[in-house]
Amino acid sequence: FEVYGCWSADLEDEDVSWWSSFNDVPLAVREFLEFISSRYESMDEAFVVIDGEKGNGKITCREFEEGIRKMKCKKFKGQNEASRISEIFRYLDPSGEGEISKQEWAVLNKMLKEIDLSIWEFVQFCDRTWPPVDPASLSTAWHALDEDGSGSITKK
């Protein structure tokens, strides 16, 4: 903190969650986040569904696999299902202890906030670039962003 932020904090390395970009998060984790954020009021609610009402506050790999089925998540069905679910579990268990704590699970909240912030910033950009005073401003924005006229916006 002192080197890059010019301020000091009484924190240990394990108390800080770092990631450089949401794009560095594995696709399976992003898809899982999309699934639970669209079906549960909070990440904590999803945690309880997997851990159980009287759970111990930690999710084992077996509980996680069973929880995915209990949630009726079909996003990962197919020949790579086990490896994709395992990839999510390993990402959420960075300590490698074989269980996901509530603190480790909380990274999903941080990711969701990052998505919300990105959307908010994009809307602000669109409002500045194509002011919403004109009913056609959304259409104007779409055509400006769809450079090749294909009807879709692609990442370059």
Count of positions (residues) in the chain: 156
Residue 13 has pLDDT above 70, yes or no: no
Reduce the DSSP state of residue 83 to 3 states and report it: helix
Residues above pLDDT 90, as percent of the chain: 56
Nearest C-alpha neighbor of 47 from the set 101, 87, 94, 84: 101
Confidence band of 154 (pLDDT split at 50, 70, 90): confident
Instruction: Provide mean pLDDT across the span 128-152.
Output: 84
> Is pTM beyond 0.85 here?
no
**What CA–CA distance (Å, rounded) separates 65 from 85?**
7
Q: Residue holding tokens 């490896």? A: 83
pLDDT of residue 17: 62
Confidence band of 4 (pLDDT split at 50, 70, 90): low
Q: How many Cβ atoms from other residues are within 10 Å of residue 59's Cβ?
A: 25
Confidence band of 81 (pLDDT split at 50, 70, 90): very high
**What CA–CA distance (Å, rounded) separates 151 from 12?**
49
Reduce the DSSP state of residue 99 to 3 states and report it: strand
Instruction: Provide mean pLDDT across the span 47-60.
Output: 94
Residue 15 has pLDDT above 80, yes or no: no
Cβ atoms of 129 and 138 closer than 8 Å:
no
Strand (E) or helix (H) holding 151: none
Looking at mean pLDDT, say which of 47-51, 127-131, 137-141 comes out highest: 47-51
Per-residue buried b or exposed e for 107-136, using 16+ beta carbons within 10 Å of the residue's own CB: bbeebbeeeeeeeeeeeeebeeebeeeeee
Confidence band of 86 (pLDDT split at 50, 70, 90): very high
pLDDT of residue 141: 85
Residue 1 has pLDDT above 90, yes or no: no
